[in-house]
Amino acid sequence: MTTSTDPTPPNPEDLICAKCDTPLRIGKVLASYMGQTFPVDLPLCPTCGFVYVSEDLAEGRMLKVEQALEDK
């Protein structure tokens, strides 16, 4: 579900790190919760390492993993 008045979520290919003026690229990232760490590929700024997490990811797969880890 989106919270936006504009229902179209951002396309990662259109995203630019404002600080470095660099388009985001898919890169290796470590996602961690409750002492568990998982390698994932996410859009990030190749210069400063700023990682983008989309709403779909945060409220979909990421939420499921969080809940699964909390119930371990």
Kindly write out the interface string for residues 20-39 of this chain, putting x where it contacts another protein by CB under 8 A and - elsewhere: ----x--xxxxxxxx----x
Are the beta carbons of 16 and 24 closer than 8 angstroms? Answer: yes
| Token pair 């660099």: residue | 22
The C-alpha atoms of residue 43 and residue 17 are separated, in whole angstroms, by 10
CB of 15 vs another protein, minimal distance in Å: 5
Residue 55 binds to another protein (criterion: CB under 8 A) = yes
Based on the number of CB atoms within 10 Å of its own CB, is 44 exposed (0-12), middle (13-18) or buried (19 or more)?
buried
Binding residues for another protein (CB under 8 A):
1-6, 9-11, 14-19, 24, 27-34, 39-40, 42, 44-45, 48-53, 55, 58-59, 62-63, 65-68, 70-72
